[in-house]
Amino acid sequence: MKIRQLSLFLENKPGRLTEPCRFLAANGINIRTLTLADTRQFGILRIVAPEPDRTAELLAAAGYLVKVTEVVALEVPDQPGGLAGVLEVFDHSGINIEYMYALAAGHKGKAVIVFRFDQPDLAIERLNAAGVNIVDSADVYQG
């Protein structure tokens, strides 16, 4: 249910983003989606890819600073108010959304948003109760 996302620490300098992408390509790993959070001095590259734990090991062995974090992918109706409706589930819940980003390919023609919650298990409980469709991790990894 939860997705294991990889985060890479990158120094903010020209060409730094190419290296991990090239490394994953060389190992035949298809990046499903990625997003870069950056500051003036450093960036955090967040990646969703198949076999996350093995990929993380490969990256770490290659000298990358990598961390695995659990995130949740939600189907969001691709229409006005679609995202707002999903977010309302967390109103007054005490659950904090640390960050979120879109899954590049979507899922079965629907929009998919990846959420990093501070309390993922509680969030899933709420989402299930509200009838929001949580995308299965296998579908996210393989497309």
Partner 1 sequence: MIAATGGCASPFHAASALDFIPPAEMRALQLARLQATVRRTHQRVAVFRERLAALGIAPEDIRSLDDLSQLPFTVKADLRETYPFGLFASPMEEIVRLHASSGTTGKPIVVAYTREDVDVWSNVMLRAFAGCGLGRGDVIQNAYGYGLFTGGLGAHYGAETLGATVIPTSGGNSARQIMVMKDFGVTAICCTPSYFLHLIERAAEMDVDLRELPLRTGVFGAEPWTVAMRRRIEALSGIRAYDIYGLSEIIGPGVACECPAQDGLHIFEDHFYPEVIDPNSGRVLADQEEGELVLTTLSKRAMPMIRYRTRDITALASGPCACGRTLRRMKRIGRRSDDMFIIRGVNVFPSQVETALLAVEGTLPHYVIVLSRRHGLDEMEVQVEVTPEAFSDKIGALEELTATLVHAIDRVVGLRVQVRLMEPHSLARSEGKARRVIDNRSLV
What separation in angstroms does the CA of 108 have from each of 38, 132, 139? 31, 15, 10
CA–CA distance, 7 with 98 (Å, rounded to integer): 14
Cβ–Cβ under 8 Å, residues 51 and 94? no
**Nearest alpha carbon to residue 61 among 20, 16, 12, 18:** 20
Residue numbers 54-93 binding partner 1 by CB under 8 A: 60, 63-65, 67, 69
Residue 116 contacts partner 1 per CB under 8 A: yes
Which residue spans within 77-141 are E strands per DSSP?
A: 97-102, 111-117
Angle made by CA atoms 16, 105, 34, in degrees to the nearest 5: 20
60 vs 111, beta carbon nearer partner 1? 60
Interacting residue with partner 1 among 22, 99, 119, 138 (CB under 8 A): 99
Residue 11 contacts partner 1 per CB under 8 A: yes
**Nearest alpha carbon to residue 53 among 112, 19, 4:** 4
Q: Which stretch binds partner 1 (CB under 8 A): 37-45, 51-59, 81-89, 123-131?
A: 37-45
CA–CA distance, 39 with 55 (Å, rounded to integer): 25
Q: Which stretch binds partner 1 (CB under 8 A): 9-17, 49-57, 84-92, 129-137?
A: 9-17
CB of 42 to partner 1, least distance (A): 5
Residue 115 contacts partner 1 per CB under 8 A: no
CB of 63 to partner 1, least distance (A): 6
Residue 18 contacts partner 1 per CB under 8 A: no
Residues that bind partner 1 (CB under 8 A): 5, 7, 9-11, 37, 39, 41-42, 44, 46, 60, 63-65, 67, 69, 98-99, 116
